[in-house]
Structure 1
């Protein structure tokens, strides 16, 4: 049996909308704050000590900016993919997150926001498909993935063999690196 593929999963640094308490979803143009850049530099230093052989990132600006810090520190080029994007929240993107507690059924894995939102089940399926492609053709034995909170929760469930209803409730903090293994 082949050794597992090591994934170093980085949550992007704090964005302007994280700081403002706004629902980001798949809004492409949200940049990092100064704190977010500091978190990204710290994550990059940690990542470099773990010696990834490839660096993949969501194509959303906050993740790309984080990945650019990682690229400078590791010397790796960044490959972006929409497969690592955050869960889409459709018409709710840009609204205050607190406002959504009364509008969203967080317990229904098939609920999706109006205007093209993505359900937890759809997010889970997207992440599972990405991991299958990565397993089939990994770019390295140790791969860094720069992504988003809900995407990391889905990735954790997929790796545990759990469905979307068992996604962890806790999201890793901005700028953290989590090491996981993907069986081959």
Structure 2
């Protein structure tokens, strides 16, 4: 065995349902999200994780704590796993954003928000930093956010930026699994844990299905 990372997106929030950009806004899980976190925890506990770390935002941290309770592992918090900052878009719906900033919406670049390049580097670097703490057969679970995880995975895999759109988004409480090999990290599973379903997150619209 070699080191692995499970990238777990947080459970559903009311803003997910309303298709509002969350970004750094600290929005809690709704009742469905709490149930999703419990279900994901029951499945991921069977993988016997050795280290759990989460974003400092409560929707991700509460998702991680559900797994921590089952595995009796502490949940470490790292703000580098936060969602992509949405600047002036936070709290607004897709329709509101498109109406007010049509050009920026087409490019999915929020005024005063983080760039995809900055988020990819931030999250990818954090994944490497925490993975370095694992034993050779250790399993790290990162509880984070849709856009942050997708971009961090692209960075960890060393994908050129023009190929980043090829990786689709993550559903609430779905996960991706990466494994370290002799030539670097590789993606074993993506958006696992549920049957395909609509995805609502802060990621680019074309990353959703």
Query: Do 2:131 and 2:140's aligned partners in 1 also have CA atoms closer than 8 Å?
Result: no
- 1:172 paired residue among 170, 173, 176: 170
Alignment of 1:1-184 (within 5 A): 4-28=2-26, 30-101=27-98, 102-105=102-105, 107=107, 111=109, 113-115=110-112, 117-138=113-134, 141-168=138-165, 170-183=168-181
Question: Which deviates further from its counterpart, 153-162 or 118-127?
Answer: 153-162
Distance 1:157 1:125, change over 3 A: same
CA RMSD in angstroms comes to 2.1
Q: Kindly state the Cα deviation for residue 59 of structure 1 after the two structures are TM-superposed.
A: 0.5
TM-score, normalised to structure 1, is: 0.86
Query: Do 1:23 and 1:95's aligned partners in 2 also have CA atoms closer than 8 Å?
Result: yes
SS at match of 2:104: coil
Q: Which residue of 1 aligns with 2:188?
A: none
Q: Structure 2: which 5+ residue stretches go unaligned?
A: 185-209
Q: Kindly state the Cα deviation for residue 8 of structure 1 after the two structures are TM-superposed.
A: 1.2
Q: Kindly state the Cα deviation for residue 78 of structure 1 after the two structures are TM-superposed.
A: 0.6
Bigger RCO of structures 1 and 2 (CA < 8 A, at least 6 apart): 1
Paired positions, count:
177
Q: Deviations over 1:85-116 (max 9, x none)?
A: 110011110011233242525547xx4x223x
The runs of at least 4 consecutive aligned structure 1 residues that moved more than 3 Å come to 105-108, 135-140
SS at match of 2:168: coil
Distance 1:160 1:170, change over 3 A: same
Query: Do 2:122 and 2:152's aligned partners in 1 also have CA atoms closer than 8 Å?
Result: no
Partners of 2:132 and 2:71 lie apart in 1 by: 24
Q: Kindly state the Cα deviation for residue 141 of structure 1 after the two structures are TM-superposed.
A: 1.2
Q: Structure 1: which 5+ residue stretches go unaligned?
A: none
Q: Kindly state the Cα deviation for residue 155 of structure 1 after the two structures are TM-superposed.
A: 2.2
